[in-house]
Amino acid sequence: MDNLSLRMNYEEWKKVIDVNLGSTFFLCKYAIKKMLKNKYGRIVNITSVVGHTGNVGQSNYAASKSGITGMSKSLAIEYAKKNITINCVAPGFIQSAMTDNIVESIKLMLTSRIPMSKLGTGEDVSNSVAFLSSDSASYITGETIHVNGGMYMA
């Protein structure tokens, strides 16, 4: 539901916020209840490079994705002592059905802004999620791993 902010109506704003941020909140809430009973848990929320950089016509999307990051940090503080870690992965431009539809000239312009000069893969993202879900990341909480080929460095 991309649109310039002055043209964006309330429904376009609300739908993106509800789908991205609202659903993530309620899924976390449900999962945390189960994890508290198990005295253990790992949550990895998916944000976006756009949540950290912004993008023309995506104020609703950027707000929802940066909201996930802030919410995840707050939840990480709330549940760290309960052996539950909550982190984020923020993909950049990843080869997918969505990026396959981008016009080639735009895709070239986008990749020119990525120091690695290529789009990422789903496997790049899933490897980060797997790491944060593992015991190898047991002392990491409230963090975001940026998977974007160097397009954005925190």
Residue 8 — very low, low, confident or very high, per pLDDT cuts 50/70/90? confident
Delimit the domains of the chain by residue range.
Answer: 10-147
Burial 43-62 (b: 16+ CB within 10 A, else e): bbbbbbbbbbeeeeebbbbb
What's the pLDDT tens digit per position in 31-87? 999 999 999 999 999 999 999 999 898 999 999 999 999 999 999 999 999 999 999
47, 144 contact by CB (below 8 A): yes
Q: Is 1 helix (H, G, I), strand (E, B) or coil?
A: coil
30 is catalytic: no
d(CA 14, CA 99): 24
- Distance from C-alpha of 154 to C-alpha of 152, rounded to nearest angstrom: 7
Single pTM value for the model: 0.93
pLDDT in tens, 85-129: 999 999 999 999 888 888 899 889 989 999 999 999 999 999 999
Catalytic residue among 30, 61, 79, 139: 61
Query: Taking the domain 10-147, which CATH number applies?
Result: 3.40.50.720
